[in-house]
Chain A
Amino acid sequence: MQPALFIIFGGLAVAGALNLLFQRHPINSALSLVVVMMSLAVLYWSLGAEFLAAAQVIVYSGAIMVLFVFVIMLLNAGEEEHTHGSRAAYTVGIPGAAAIFCLLSFVFLSERDALKTANVGGDLGNGVDNISAVSSMLFTRQLLPFEVTSILILVAILGAVVLARKEQ
């Protein structure tokens, strides 16, 4: 079953990403990204990260992408015009992106055996379920970062409010 899951939802993710690339209207790109995130949630679940799968759906595609969609609608972003901005982006950037992809896949594929295989559900050992494991780690050893992130969010809220305010 796992190979099937992987192929279907992996392919869906890639298709969504390509759609993001080729669409001209930003709202279509945003919606394609939602598709990608959903597929990734399924993949997370197949790798044994249930909590993250849920968080992905709720937080990422449910909140962040909605924010994006709101902003697109607010700013009334239309279809993209063709302007010639920079040649460097194409002449240097595309080869750079291609190079990064080739390098990464080269490394990963050549170490295929060392990286072992993934099993659905995954065994985290001690028979502990995923969410207990995550929360026990999060609230004991990583407590400080956890609290700091809440402050981070507070700062972000304040920043967003200040920046987006209309000039008085």
Chain B
Amino acid sequence: MNSSPENLLWYIPLLPFAGFLINGTLGRKLPRALVSAVALLCTALPAAIVAWLWVLMRADGAPDLIPATVSQPWIQITGLTVNFAFTVDHLTLIMLGVVTGVGFLIHIYSVGYMAHEEGYWRFFAYLNLFMFFMSVLVLADNFLLLFVGWEGVGLASYLLIGFYFRKSSAANAGKKAFVVNRIGDFGFLLAMFLLIVHFGTLNFTDIFAAIGQHPEWQGVRFLTAIALLLVLGAAGKSAQIPLYVWLPDAMEGPTPVSALIHAATMVTAGIYMVARCHTLFDRSPVALTVVACIGAATAIFAASIGMVQQDIKRVLAYSTISQLGYMFLACGVGAYAAGIFHLLTHAFFKALLFLAAGSVIHALSGEQDMRNMGGLWRRIPVTFWTMTMGVIAIAGIWPWAGFFSKDEILYQTFVSPNHVGKLLWFIGLLTAGMTSFYMFRLWFKTFFGEPRFEQVAVEHHGAPVHASSTTTLTMEADPDEDLVASAHGVHESPWIMLFPLVILAILSFVGGWVGVPAALGGHNEIEHFLEPVFGSASAAPAATSGHGLELALAAVSLLVALTGFYFAYVLYYKKPGTAAELAGRAKPAYTILANKYWVDEFYSNFLVIPLMMFSRGVLDFIVDRGLVNGSGRAAGFVTRGFAWATRSQISGNIRSYAGWLAIGAAAVLAVMIFGRSLLVHP
């Protein structure tokens, strides 16, 4: 009993890796059923292991930490030792639960969603690869191993975003994601270097213990520097300002990818990292304020853009960025448990929303523009009801999951000792209202009103649908499939796709009940569960300000969410033309939002193009063609000259041979006479 948990930890990442190898190398030749079986098995078993770990660690007297180390260290030089080592504490357990549990459900969904795609084996191979790296990231007990997982999920994300590699927009989106992530990784690397310099180790427990032993390091500069660099890394991975630009484009990938990677797991890696390093962040109020401000700014920024998007997946993408901003905000005010709680509930309802959106797209044979949807609620009922659960959850309406987690964050922000706390709370409140508005806007436009898709199907039979000016549409299904499906009409998805939706819908409803605060009559189990990791510091403010404030704030946020619903109802259900009219009247504001504040264009003109010109002019022209090619050609030139010199000896003339012989004999004589001492002595 005491040795097995450590050994089992290794199976959690290694099983998906085995799945990747099998499907990656043999998958092309295997039948689809076998490919799916391998992939599902290699995801289900780790989920089972995690479930067992849950049981183990919730038992009384269970240790708070399970370590597992390889006996040989990975890097061992004077001054630094890094091990291949995994460790599981309560934070890891929650993350693992999300990764393996939600991951497994999405794998099941993908079996149905990708059933008609070519490259089926490739998809599952990449998906398993992603699970491997994400597990490594979450299980790592030192920064370097975490970074391996960090980079690896970036790689898997690139491969999966560019899954439809024949489409240039998909390939470009993959590239964009990878490059923007790299900028964040640079910050992470610099932070690791600073950690090595100051602490001599990259191990979490060692570093945090060292910090704990130096209470005088509060607010010291090098810790702030490390923290800010880590924030840069987290901003890249978790799509915060200024590195969020890759996430909307990442919607070029298949919908299950968006659900798994860009909603539930990879983008939460940044939050996880900040939470893991909370000891370090707590020592740097500057960094914490930066985190909080970035989080709040991103939340409201993304929500504002999401209000005017027409592509259903883009709305969800901006919503993800906005919700990640909430999590960042929570960490920034020190409420790490609240941030992780929102991570958990967000995983449930965002994955649900994406999968349900995928189901809608599948039902409409590839249609993603909400202007061409409508009147679907009777035709695809299961999708409709499950998506409704998700929408209510994200809007933050009691007693669905989103309410408790979002509310906890807003409360902690309000009562935090940070001097911008109240302002940030207000921004968060506004964002909550906007979230509710645009999510219900999505809901109304997709499921209610005139069935606009019927006109489109008649006009554009089998051809790609017209592109809008604000979003780029993607055809996810084959054009042939489109012909087939439009002949069949709108149909509900198969049960293999609906089953995960139902599970996630239930979780979106009950998922928040593990965090019901004392003010509302609960025990806030999740906060207590995470106490061994974060300490009970976050619980203290709640006790002092009393329950009245919390109840009041909860009521305010609920009211704001319902207001958002009301506006959406009026604009999109009751009087359908009003939205267009409002957009016409507030033209400048609408244009700014519709063009996403022209951030992409700004980056392109001021960063990307100058870099490319430098790269082409200097690196390609001078270094690559000049030095590298030049040295190759110089070597060839020298050899040819040498050969010419040697060849001229073979003239066929006896006397020239004699001449060479004479000089050769002289050389030998010289060596024998004078070189003897050189040859004999050692």
Contacts and interface: CB of A to CB of B under 8 A. Distances in A.
Contact of A86 (B653, B662, B673): B653
A96 to B, nearest CB: 3
A152 interface: no
B2 interface: no
B204 interface: no
A86 B664 CA distance: 17
Interface in B644-675: 649, 651, 653, 655-656, 658-666, 669-670, 673
Contacts, number: 62
B662 A97 contact: yes
B662 A92 contact: yes
A96 B664 CA distance: 8
Contact of A92 (B663, B669, B670): B663
B658 A107 contact: no
Nearest to B659: A93
B666 A103 contact: yes
- Pick the most buried of A85, A87, A100: most chain B CB atoms within 10 A of its CB: A100
Contact of B659 (A88, A99, A104, A106): A88
Contact of B670 (A95, A97, A103): A103
B665 to A, nearest CB: 6
A75 interface: no
Interface string A86-127: 111111111111011001101100000000000000000000
B655 A96 contact: no
Interface in A107-157: 107
A96 B673 contact: no
B90 to A, nearest CB: 86
A99 B656 contact: no
A104 B663 contact: no
Contacts of B660: 88, 92-93
A89 B658 contact: yes
A86 B666 contact: no
A89 B661 CA distance: 10
A122 B157 CA distance: 100
B653 A103 contact: no
Contacts of B665: 96, 100
Given A99-B666, A100-B662, A93 B655 contact: yes
A103 B668 CA distance: 11
Contacts of B659: 86, 88-94, 96
Interface of B: prevailing SS: helix
B408 to A, nearest CB: 94
A86 B651 contact: yes
Given A88-B660, A92-B663, A99 B670 contact: yes
Nearest to B664: A96
Contacts of B664: 96
A94 B655 CA distance: 11
Nearest to B649: A88
A142 to B, nearest CB: 28
B662 A88 contact: no
Nearest to B666: A99
Contacts of A89: 653, 655-656, 658-659
A106 B670 CA distance: 11
B410 to A, nearest CB: 95
A96 B651 contact: no
A44 to B, nearest CB: 25
A89 B657 CA distance: 7
Given A88-B649, A88-B651, A107-B673, A96 B666 contact: yes
Given A86-B651, A86-B653, A93 B670 contact: no
A99 B663 contact: yes
A111 to B, nearest CB: 11
Contacts of B663: 92-93, 95-96, 99
B666 A100 contact: yes
B673 A103 contact: yes
Contacts of B666: 95-97, 99-100, 103
A90 B653 CA distance: 13
Nearest to A95: B663
A103 B669 CA distance: 7
Given A86-B653, A99-B663, A93 B669 contact: no
Contacts of A86: 651, 653, 655-656, 659
A3 B656 CA distance: 40
B677 to A, nearest CB: 14
A99 to B, nearest CB: 4
Contacts of A93: 655-656, 658-660, 662-663
A5 B666 CA distance: 31
- Pick the most buried of A91, A96, A104: most chain B CB atoms within 10 A of its CB: A96
A32 to B, nearest CB: 20
A85 B653 contact: yes
B673 A88 contact: no
Nearest to A103: B669
Given A88-B656, A95-B663, A100 B669 contact: yes
A84 to B, nearest CB: 10
Nearest to A91: B659
A96 B656 CA distance: 12
A93 B662 CA distance: 6
A88 B645 CA distance: 12
A94 B586 CA distance: 100
A95 to B, nearest CB: 7
B650 to A, nearest CB: 11
Contacts of A90: 659
Given A95-B666, A100-B669, 14 more contacts: A85-B653, A87-B656, A88-B651, A88-B660, A89-B653, A89-B656, A90-B659, A92-B662, A93-B656, A93-B662, A96-B666, A97-B666, A99-B666, A107-B673
Interface of B: 649, 651, 653, 655-656, 658-666, 669-670, 673
23 contacts: A85-B653, A87-B656, A88-B651, A88-B653, A88-B655, A88-B656, A88-B659, A88-B660, A89-B656, A92-B659, A92-B660, A92-B662, A93-B658, A93-B663, A96-B659, A96-B663, A97-B662, A99-B663, A100-B662, A100-B665, A100-B666, A100-B669, A103-B669
User: 8 smallest A-B Cβ distances: which pairs?
Assistant: A93-B659, A96-B662, A96-B663, A88-B656, A99-B666, A86-B656, A89-B655, A89-B659
